[in-house]
């Protein structure tokens, strides 16, 4: 069996997730797996044969992590688990679910395929973002989907310059900029008019947010490039950089934000029969009604 130690991660105090987690625990214990449970949901499981631990311990000890919830649950877990040699699979209990692709009604069949090795393992790269002030590192974090420079207030314009590998690209007055991975190209970036990028491409997309010029358009660049955003000193002082809409880093006028591809990789597992384009058709309602 490829996975001896399996971890369960999920959204706390969510009825549908609660039911799925307990079904999964029974399934995994029947398989003879050692079971780890992320500490925030440990009290919700009705079995005693498990070990409660944090995400770092899960990353170090587990072979497979099963994330139950929406893409937000997956993103939160992925930023930590990508640092370790662990496979991750998602069960969708959210809305769109681009990253959590197993349907709750098909858990047993889909996991049986994965446990028999009938699966696809995808590598997804992350981004590292650093905020510098007077050439000194002030804060940093990572993102699976996107890094966004934006104002702390709604509908506030800012001025900044973009550099790629230290070459000046353009200056801009806009509400901000989205720098998205292929994984994030179907998230916030897509809503802002950015392109869909296949996960196998080693590329980033830079998408301006409500630019004050009609000539400003999304641009796709090599993922090994360093993207730098230099914030003008004329801006007001409530600027921010967001990572996956979860983590916020403060930015002051004159700061520089540097974005690089992380050395960490998220190892996503899909059951046999997974198709990226099938996911797009289903999630984006291509050829059918959205509602």
**What is the model's pLDDT at position 152?**
83
Say if residues 265 and 123 touch (Cβ distance below 8 Å).
yes
The whole-angstrom separation of Cα 3 and Cα 96 is 28
Residues 6 or more apart from 164 whose CB is under 8 A from it? Answer: 221, 225, 226, 227, 228
271 secondary structure, DSSP code: E
- Scored b (16 or more CB within 10 A) or e, 194-222 reads beebebeeebbbbbbbebeeeebebbbbe
- Which residue among the candidates 19, 26, 63, 71 is catalytic per the annotation? 71
Element (H, E) at 61: helix 55-61
Give the domains, in start order, of the chain with CATH numbers: 3-117+271-282 (3.40.50.10330), 125-261 (2.60.200.30)
The whole-angstrom separation of Cα 48 and Cα 43 is 10
Known binding residues for NAD(+): 71-72, 145-146, 156, 173, 175, 186-191
For the chain (291 residues), the mean pLDDT of every run of 10, in chain order, is 91 84 92 94 83 95 94 93 96 81 89 93 97 97 97 86 96 95 96 95 96 90 98 86 95 96 96 89 78 63
Say if residues 125 and 265 touch (Cβ distance below 8 Å).
yes
| Structure-token match 């349907």, residue found | 103
**pTM passes above 0.85:** yes
**What is the model's pLDDT at position 206?**
98
The whole-angstrom separation of Cα 116 and Cα 103 is 19
For 10, the token pair is 């999920």
- Return the half-sphere exposure (C-beta side, CA atoms, 13 A cut-off) of residue 230: 12
**What is the model's pLDDT at position 283?**
84
In the chain, what is the greatest distance between 2 CA atoms, to the nearest angstrom?
Answer: 62
Is 224 tagged catalytic? Answer: no
Residues 6 or more apart from 233 whose CB is under 8 A from it? Answer: 253, 254
The whole-angstrom separation of Cα 272 and Cα 209 is 38
**What is the model's pLDDT at position 1?**
62
Q: How many residues does the chain have?
A: 291
Known binding residues: 71-72, 145-146, 156, 173, 175, 186-191
Annotate 138-175 with DSSP letters as a single string. EEEEEESSEEEEEESSTT--EEEEEEETTEEEEEEEES
**What is the model's pLDDT at position 215?**
87
């Amino acid at each position: 069996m490829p996975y001896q130690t399996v971890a369960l991660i999920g959204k706390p105090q969510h009825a549908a997730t609660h039911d799925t987690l307990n079904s999964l625990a029974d399934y995994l214990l029947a398989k003879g797996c050692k079971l780890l449970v992320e500490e925030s949901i440990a009290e919700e499981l009705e079995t005693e044969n498990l070990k409660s631990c944090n995400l770092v311990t899960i990353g170090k000890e587990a072979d497979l992590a099963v994330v139950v919830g929406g893409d937000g649950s997956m993103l939160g877990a992925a930023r930590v688990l990508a640092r370790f040699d662990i496979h991750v699979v998602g069960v969708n209990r959210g809305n769109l679910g681009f990253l959590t692709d197993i349907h709750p009604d098909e858990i047993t069949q889909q996991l049986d395929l994965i446990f028999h090795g009938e699966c696809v393992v995808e590598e997804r790269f992350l981004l590292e973002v650093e905020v510098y002030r007077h050439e000194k590192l002030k804060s940093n974090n990572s993102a699976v989907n996107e890094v966004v420079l934006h104002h702390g207030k709604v509908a506030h314009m800012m001025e900044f310059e973009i550099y790629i590998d230290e070459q000046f690209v353009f200056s801009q007055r806009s509400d901000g900029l989205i720098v998205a991975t292929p994984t994030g190209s179907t998230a916030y970036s897509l809503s802002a008019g950015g392109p869909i990028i296949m996960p196998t491409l080693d590329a980033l997309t830079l998408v301006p947010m409500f630019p004050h010029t009609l000539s400003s358009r999304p641009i796709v660049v090599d993922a090994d490039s360093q993207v730098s955003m230099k914030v003008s000193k004329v801006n007001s002082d409530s600027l921010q950089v967001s990572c996956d809409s979860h983590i916020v880093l403060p930015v002051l006028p004159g700061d520089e934000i540097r974005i690089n591809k992380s050395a960490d990789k998220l190892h996503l597992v899909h059951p046999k029969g997974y198709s990226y384009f099938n996911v797009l058709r289903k999630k984006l309602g291509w050829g059918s009604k959205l509602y």
